[in-house]
Amino acid sequence: MRFSKLFRILAGTALVLMVAHTAMAGKVIKLHHLNKNGAFDNPSGAAVVVFKNLVESGTNGEITVEIFPNGQLGKDAEVVQQVKAGIIQMGVHSVGAVGSVYPMISVLDIPFAFPNIASTYAVLDGPFGQKMSEDIFAKTGIKALGFSDSGGFFQFTNSKHPIKTLEDMKGLKIRTMGLETHKQVVSSLGGQPAAIAWSEVYTALQTGVADGQMNPVPIVEFAKLYEVQKYLTISNHLFAPHVWLMNADFYNSLTPAEVKVVEAAVKAAIVTSRGIANAIEASERGLPFLQEKLEIYALPESEKIRFRDAAMPVVKKYIEDTFGDEGKKMLDDFLAAIEQAS
């Protein structure tokens, strides 16, 4: 009897301690992103550590942030589903992954639409970005909190020959994300698109499954693609942001004060991603570094016009044919926002 009573006392004490520990632990945000952590390593790595710091300090530890870098939780599109289901609370995702649940993200893929990098930020932070965020929630049930910089404008690399004219694209096998619009860009320029998961890109380039790929300069550097490529063409043909997604039920569980902290932290993280992206591109880890590894050529404006005239109408038509009047309206709003920002 004494042993039984003692056991019940100890068990009750343990339960109280467990409840107290849970209460002390507060809320947890499990946060996915594709790259390494590090305040100075890459745009998403810098952004998430800033987010973690601001959320944890701003809530006095009531919310803790657990970061899962390097795609530890699975392929990006798979993790979007985890966010939607509430398996994890948050992710910083590529447009390719977001496109798996929200195909209308393809509107952002009009080639050569942005005249400069500053205009991309103005459009995505402004009324158009808010409209797209609301549409993402309406169609997927996932809360979109903002658009950060994945590394700047997309450029072409390849291992076959320099790309100096439109004709130089002919026949090149170029890796793309799974987005149909990215494939349309490559094929409209004369290349052969090859949709390959990011985790397999280095090997695909190394083995010749793909001749080249398109990504921002910082990604070419930190993914060491210069080891398996020979030529880099500065084309500035696409801007593909990272999208910050949060599980809607978790978002709704936050107090007004917590929402304020989280949303402010996202905004600060987005600003961080942009600063790091531009700094890396201009630093010894960006173009100056890659000049020692790759043959670099910047398309002159006259050739950019040829590229744009070949690709832009094709992608516009695809969006209008695929998404109908709704897609055309979103596209018109996007182009109008760019014109205003410029």
CATH code at 64?
3.40.190.170
Residue 2 lies in a domain: no
* Prediction pTM value: 0.88
**Nearest partner of 101 among 147, 148, 146, 142, judged by Cα:** 142
Boundary-marking domain end, from 273, 293, 328:
273
Question: Tell me, what's the pLDDT at 103?
Answer: 96
Percent of the chain surpassing pLDDT 90: 86
Question: Tell me, what's the pLDDT at 329?
Answer: 97
Residue range 168-198, pLDDT digits in tens: 999 999 999 888 999 999 999 999 999 998 8
Question: Tell me, what's the pLDDT at 342?
Answer: 85
User: What is the extent of the structural domain holding 256?
Assistant: 25-148+241-273
Question: Tell me, what's the pLDDT at 14?
Answer: 40
Do 195 and 247 have their domain in common?
A: no
Do 122 and 67 have their domain in common?
A: yes
Cα separation, 130 vs 76, in Å, equals 23
Residue 9 lies in a domain: no
Residue 279 lies in a domain: no
Residue range 308-322, pLDDT digits in tens: 999 999 999 999 999
Do 123 and 133 have their domain in common?
A: yes
pLDDT-derived band at 285, boundaries 50, 70, 90: confident
Residue 105 lies in a domain: yes
pLDDT-derived band at 25, boundaries 50, 70, 90: low
Residue 178 lies in a domain: yes
Q: What is the mean pLDDT of residues 113-125?
A: 97
Do 231 and 247 have their domain in common?
A: no
Question: Tell me, what's the pLDDT at 158?
Answer: 98
Residue 70 lies in a domain: yes
Do 181 and 264 have their domain in common?
A: no
Residue 6 lies in a domain: no
Residue range 67-87, pLDDT digits in tens: 999 999 999 999 999 999 999
Do 169 and 318 have their domain in common?
A: yes
Do 29 and 175 have their domain in common?
A: no
Do 313 and 171 have their domain in common?
A: yes
Asked if the model's pLDDT at residue 204 lies above 90, the reply is yes
Domain count, the chain: 2
Residue 259 lies in a domain: yes
Do 206 and 247 have their domain in common?
A: no
Do 317 and 265 have their domain in common?
A: no
How is residue 30 written in tokens? 């499990």
Question: Tell me, what's the pLDDT at 39?
Answer: 85
Q: What is the mean pLDDT of residues 41-65?
A: 96
Residue range 141-164, pLDDT digits in tens: 999 999 999 999 999 999 999 999
Do 90 and 121 have their domain in common?
A: yes
Do 109 and 172 have their domain in common?
A: no
